[in-house]
């Protein structure tokens, strides 16, 4: 649930990190970020809602599943958002919490507040500041209202401008106090404390805070899995199995270990201060640059645009400029990719190595996806088609399963994990001396049978889940046959 | 080779003719399993020929010891082969429309030898259509066959009559059944449920009538193989399609699971061995030399040179219900040289020309009976130890 400040001050310009770049209005930057978030919600099938506030709080988009066909209407609505008036920040937070209220389960969901000012228009809610006046009669204390018992709510506040001085930016004192108060209440009630406040002073920072993105571009010869003939699918699976059977020749695969594949995402993941990075892969047709890269992805979009236009030097210089607002792994990945396209193989390899190191620090929810993007680039650089096929298939499957329920996705990813574990037992059948060959072969066959059993159970339970699930299961079944 | 006449008879009118007496024999229920187009039908037809239906087949024993195979046709019996076809004429009929037709192939003097090595399928003769090769089983058809033969030393008392009871089908139903152990029925009247059929890839996307046919077929096969005395697994080498290769490997693993969990003797026949050049060139030489000896070592070939890509799997199964040395055979029905050209060896051992005037050649059947002989050996040994 995004709470967006539409007070008049949002019309003010926000400097950009890139020298020479025109300043953009805060609302303009925020709008492009919302477009991007919407697009992601449509692709993943996740819920999204938008509350805008001036002195009045409005529900612009109720919490709903975003479908691709509705996207133009919602985007049109967002483009019409025009700032005016003052800011009822506390009232807006209360409305946002109300939209996520689930009866006895309290408030369940994620709130993101984007504001550039001080609360000067709330009529119903308030936040108590130490040493400040007491909450006026008739006003409600926001903190307990947002955190009733059993709640599981995260709050991320993105404050625009440095607001130590009133009307020059976000009210950082109150925001910090709100965050700490919520932390204290969460601690007392035994609720998870997932609250953060981040100030931004440039357009790029604002965008990066709203959209912490890892953007990648598909390779020219990529073909969607669903377009493959069954025999081609089988060939892909056989190729992928080679990557599992010959680890010495396919070292990259070991970086995507089964634990990462089976990493659970969602509410059970441990909270971390490092924000999740959203991973987007833009596909291109006929070498054309996708539209709105800059608008949708901010500074990173500009880098990718130059790269796709065949201007590696410009792309590298834009990347250097945008570096402060990009997650390190994103920057290093693009450095490697651009250098590789520019035939600077040594530099590319160095950057990619650093990217791997950075990726290890990522939170578990996004780490597997990013590791696979890195693995794909490494496989390209090493001309390792087998690893590329394997990683692409896992990646494509996960992407295509975006709209299916998380349990199905997790189940399939777990199966992929088990498939990759077979590398170990298979290797033993190759390494064993003649005496223990039979023992090794037996262990491997037992392991294969076990995975085949899991595959059958998955088919029985997930059969009505559409071609993406079927395709993934077919791939695993063929890979299993190849592990002989 | 004794002259035998093959007659076919479908749906005899009541009271017109006596039904051939079923001989009192030990019966062995053996499931012959393979993926679609692995050669199951051909295997059955050539076995029929071997047991007295008088296909002019050149049989080459592969055992280096020169010992005689203890398998031969039971020509004393009136009925050499009994073939019952179950055919679903209207799979959508809720009452069930499984039509059965039984044909009896009996021992009679042969009138025209040339007619006899044509396809044994009923009706073809009457239509005047002569085909060289066995016809594929129809998609909606199961054929249950009872082959009568003798096992043991040749000559009356030294051998005992046996009946091989087996089912031929098309479309991979039997392959699906064994591949996916979630389908297995564990009683003689068990039923494969619609739900468990979903373990078959893309089952839900099939037409309802095909789904129903498949479920019924699986049930029929499941009941048939329940308590089977032995299993012969046909593996086809050099399958061009990767999907077929994958299907075959997964089937093999399923069959190994089945044999192990049901303690059923398992024999493996690498069919279409004529696709394996190295194997075939040796067989060809043997035919030319009339040596009736082969030093070819199937185990060495399978394990060291990976003839059917099954080396590791076979090694893993050693001692787990099979012995790689004793239970794995390379067989060939040799309907082609592997290049699509029919291979006919003339009576003099020469290769028949593929162009020009039609030559009456002899289809070469190599080792086809070895897996069956081994299966019988194991079944009888087992019965002896269990006092059965």
How far separated are the first and last CA of chain A, in Å rounded? Answer: 50
- Which pLDDT tens digit goes with each residue over A379-410? 888 888 888 888 888 877 777 776 667 788 88
How far separated are the first and last CA of chain B, in Å rounded? Answer: 33
- Looking at per-residue confidence, does A349 or B12 come out higher? A349
Least confident piece of the model among A351-355, A464-468, B144-148:
A464-468
Q: Are B265 and B321 in contact (CB under 8 A)?
A: yes
Q: Looking at beta carbons, which residues of chain B come within 8 Å of A480?
A: 250
Q: B202 and A470: CB-CB below 8 Å?
A: yes
Q: Tell whether B194 lies on the interface with A, counting CB pairs under 8 A.
A: no
Question: Rounded to whole angstroms, what are the CA distances from B377 to B46, B71, B262?
Answer: 20, 10, 18
Q: B196 and A444: CB-CB below 8 Å?
A: no
Q: Looking at beta carbons, which residues of chain A come within 8 Å of B253?
A: 445, 448-449, 452
Highest mean pLDDT of the ranges A143-152, A286-295, A412-421, B105-114: A143-152
Whether residue A100 has pLDDT greater than 70? yes
The predicted structure's pLDDT at residue B184: 95
In sequence order, what are the beta bridge partners of A83?
A: none
Of B201, B246, B316, the CB nearest to A442: B316
ipTM above 0.90, yes or no: no
How many separate helices (H) and strands (E) can be counted in chain B? Answer: 11, 12
The tokens describing B152, both together, are 């043991």
Assign residue A466 a region (left: φ > 0; alpha: ψ between -120 and 50; beta: otherwise).
Answer: left
How many alpha carbons lie under 13 Å from residue B222 in its C-beta half-sphere? 25
Residue of B307, B315, B321, B324 best to disrupt the A interface, most CBs of A under 10 A: B315
Q: A234 and B241: CB-CB below 8 Å?
A: yes
Q: A460 and B241: CB-CB below 8 Å?
A: no
The predicted structure's pLDDT at residue B255: 94
Q: Looking at beta carbons, which residues of chain B come within 8 Å of A231?
A: 241-243
For chain B, what's the residue count? 388
Q: What is the CB neighbour count within 10 angstroms for residue A410?
A: 16
CA atoms of A339 and A332, how far apart (whole Å): 10
The predicted structure's pLDDT at residue A142: 93
Question: Rounded to whole angstroms, what are the CA distances from B370 to B269, B270, B330?
Answer: 9, 11, 9
Whether residue A434 has pLDDT greater than 80? no
Residue with tokens 């007070």: A7
In order of their start, the domains of chain A are 2-210 (3.40.50.410), 214-482 (no CATH)
Smallest CA–CA distance from B176 into chain A, residue: A456
The predicted structure's pLDDT at residue A334: 93
Residue of A441, A443, A480, A483 best to disrupt the B interface, most CBs of B under 10 A: A441
Q: B242 and A234: CB-CB below 8 Å?
A: yes
Of B246, B317, B320, the CB nearest to A478: B246
Q: What SS3 class is residue A274?
A: coil
The predicted structure's pLDDT at residue A335: 94
Domain ranges of chain B: 26-385
Q: Looking at beta carbons, which residues of chain B come within 8 Å of A463?
A: 198, 203-204
Smallest CA–CA distance from A238 into chain B, residue: B242
Smallest CA–CA distance from B254 into chain A, residue: A449
Work out the mean pLDDT of chain A and round it to a whole number: 81
- Which pLDDT tens digit goes with each residue over A26-46? 888 888 878 877 877 776 667
Rg over alpha carbons for chain A, rounded to the nearest Å, is 25
**Which residue ranges of chain B lie beneath pLDDT 70?**
1-25, 45-81, 86-141, 153-157, 170-171, 238, 274-309, 332-367, 387-388
pLDDT band at A205 (very low <50, low <70, confident <90, very high): confident
CATH architecture of B26-385: 3-Layer(aba) Sandwich (3.40)
- Which pLDDT tens digit goes with each residue over A145-175? 999 988 888 888 888 887 665 667 788 888 8
Residue partners of B120: CB distance under 8 A and separation at least 6: B6, B8, B45, B48, B53, B105, B134
The predicted structure's pLDDT at residue B195: 92
The tokens describing B382, both together, are 């087992």
Q: A459 and B316: CB-CB below 8 Å?
A: no
- Looking at per-residue confidence, does B256 or A227 come out higher? B256
Q: A460 and B198: CB-CB below 8 Å?
A: yes
Q: Looking at beta carbons, which residues of chain B come within 8 Å of A482?
A: 246, 249
Q: A460 and B313: CB-CB below 8 Å?
A: no
- Which pLDDT tens digit goes with each residue over A133-142? 888 888 999 9
The predicted structure's pLDDT at residue A224: 64
In sequence order, what are the beta bridge partners of B30?
A: B230
Q: Looking at beta carbons, which residues of chain B come within 8 Å of A457?
A: 182
Of B182, B250, B311, the CB nearest to A481: B250
In sequence order, what are the beta bridge partners of B362?
A: B345
The predicted structure's pLDDT at residue B182: 95
Q: B180 and A441: CB-CB below 8 Å?
A: no
Q: B182 and A473: CB-CB below 8 Å?
A: no
Mark out chain A residues that contact chain B at CB-CB < 8 A. 230-231, 234-235, 237-238, 429, 437-438, 441-442, 444-445, 448-449, 452-453, 456-457, 459-460, 463-464, 470, 473-474, 477-478, 480-482, 484
Q: Which residues of A266-286 are buried (b: 16+ CB within 10 A; e: fewer)?
A: eeeeeeeeeeebbbbbbeeee
């Amino acid at each position: 649930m995004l709470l967006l400040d539409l007070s008049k001050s949002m019309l003010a310009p926000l400097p950009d990190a890139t020298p020479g770049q025109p300043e953009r209005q805060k609302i303009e930057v925020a709008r492009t970020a919302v477009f991007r978030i919407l697009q992601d919600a449509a692709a993943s099938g996740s819920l999204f809602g938008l509350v805008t506030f001036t002195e009045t709080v409005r529900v612009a988009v109720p919490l709903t599943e975003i479908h691709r066909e509705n996207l133009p209407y919602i985007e049109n609505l967002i483009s019409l958002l025009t700032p005016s008036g003052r800011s009822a920040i506390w009232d807006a937070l209360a409305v946002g919490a109300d939209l996520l209220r689930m009866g006895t389960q309290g408030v369940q969901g994620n709130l993101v507040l984007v504001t550039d000012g001080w609360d000067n228009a709330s009529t119903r809610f308030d936040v108590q500041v130490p040493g400040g006046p007491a909450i006026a009669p008739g006003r409600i204390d926001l903190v307990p209202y947002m955190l009733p018992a059993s709640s599981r709510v995260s709050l991320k506040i993105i404050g625009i401008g440095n607001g130590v001085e009133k009307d020059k930016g976000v009210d950082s004192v109150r925001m910090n106090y709100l965050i700490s108060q919520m932390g204290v209440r969460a601690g007392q009630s035994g609720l998870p404390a997932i609250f953060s406040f981040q100030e931004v002073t440039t357009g790029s920072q604002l965008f990066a805070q709203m959209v912490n993105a890892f953007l990648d571009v598909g390779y020219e010869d990529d073909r969607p899995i669903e377009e493959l003939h069954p025999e081609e699918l089988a060939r892909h699976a056989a190729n992928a199995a080679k990557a599992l059977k010959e680890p010495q020749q396919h070292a990259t695969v070991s970086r995507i270990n089964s634990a990462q594949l089976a990493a659970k995402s969602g509410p059970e993941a441990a909270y971390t201060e490092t924000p999740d990075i959203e991973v987007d892969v833009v596909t291109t047709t006929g070498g054309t640059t996708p539209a709105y890269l800059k608008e949708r992805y901010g500074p990173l979009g500009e880098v990718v645009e130059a790269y796709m236009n065949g201007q590696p030097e410009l792309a590298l210089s834009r990347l250097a400029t945008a570096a402060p607002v990009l997650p390190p792994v994103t920057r290093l990945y693009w450095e490697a990719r651009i250098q590789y396209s520019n035939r600077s193989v040594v530099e590319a390899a160095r950057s990619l190595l650093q990217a791997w190191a950075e990726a290890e620090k990522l939170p578990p929810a996004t780490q597997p996806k990013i590791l696979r993007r890195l693995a794909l680039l490494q496989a390209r650089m090493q001309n390792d088609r087998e690893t590329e096929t394997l990683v692409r298939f896992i990646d494509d499957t996960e992407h295509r399963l975006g709209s299916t329920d998380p349990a199905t996705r997790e189940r399939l990813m777990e199966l992929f994990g088990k498939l990759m574990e077979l590398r170990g037992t298979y290797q033993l059948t190759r390494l064993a001396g003649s005496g223990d060959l039979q023992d090794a072969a037996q262990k491997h066959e037992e392991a294969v049978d076990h995975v085949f059993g899991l595959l059958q159970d998955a088919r029985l339970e997930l059969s009505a889940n559409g071609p993406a699930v079927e395709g993934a299961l077919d791939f695993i079944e063929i890979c299993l046959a190849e592990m002989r | 080779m004794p002259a035998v006449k093959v007659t076919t008879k479908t749906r005899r009118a009541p009271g017109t003719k006596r039904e051939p007496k079923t001989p009192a024999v030990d019966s062995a229920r053996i499931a012959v399993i393979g993926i679609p187009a692995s050669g199951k039908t051909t295997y059955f037809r050539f076995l029929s020929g071997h047991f007295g239906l008088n296909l002019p087949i050149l049989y080459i024993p592969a055992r280096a010891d020169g010992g005689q195979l203890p398998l031969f046709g039971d020509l004393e019996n009136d009925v050499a082969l009994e073939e019952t076809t179950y055919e679903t004429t209207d799979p959508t009929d809720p009452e069930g429309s499984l039509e059965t037709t039984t044909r009896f192939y009996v021992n009679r003097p042969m009138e025209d030898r040339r007619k006899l090595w044509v396809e044994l399928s009923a009706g073809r003769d009457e239509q005047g259509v002569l085909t060289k090769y066995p016809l594929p089983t129809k998609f909606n058809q199961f054929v249950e066959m009872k082959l009568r033969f003798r096992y043991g030393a040749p000559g009356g008392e030294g051998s005992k009559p046996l009946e091989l009871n087996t089912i031929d089908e098309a479309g991979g139903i039997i392959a699906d059944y064994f591949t996916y152990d979630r389908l297995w029925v564990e009683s003689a009247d068990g039923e494969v449920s619609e739900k468990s059929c979903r373990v078959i890839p893309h089952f839900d996307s099939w037409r309802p009538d095909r789904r129903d046919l498949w479920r019924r077929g699986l049930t029929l096969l499941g009941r048939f193989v329940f308590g089977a005395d032995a299993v012969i697994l046909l593996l086809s080498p050099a399958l061009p399609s990767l999907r077929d290769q994958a299907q075959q490997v997964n089937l093999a693993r399923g069959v190994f699971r089945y044999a192990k969990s049901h303690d059923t003797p398992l024999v493996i026949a690498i069919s279409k061995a004529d696709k394996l050049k190295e194997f075939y060139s040796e067989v060809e030489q043997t035919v030319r030399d009339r040596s009736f000896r082969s030093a070819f070592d199937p185990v060495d070939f399978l394990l060291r040179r990976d003839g059917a890509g099954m080396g590791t799997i076979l090694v893993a199964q050693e001692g787990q219900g099979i012995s790689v040395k004793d239970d794995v055979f390379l067989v060939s029905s040799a309907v082609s040289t592997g290049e699509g050209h029919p291979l006919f060896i003339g009576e003099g051992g020469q290769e028949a020309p593929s162009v020009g005037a039609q030559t009456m050649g002899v289809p070469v059947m190599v080792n086809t009976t070895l897996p069956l002989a081994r299966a019988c050996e194991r079944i009888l040994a087992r019965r002896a130890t269990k006092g059965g």
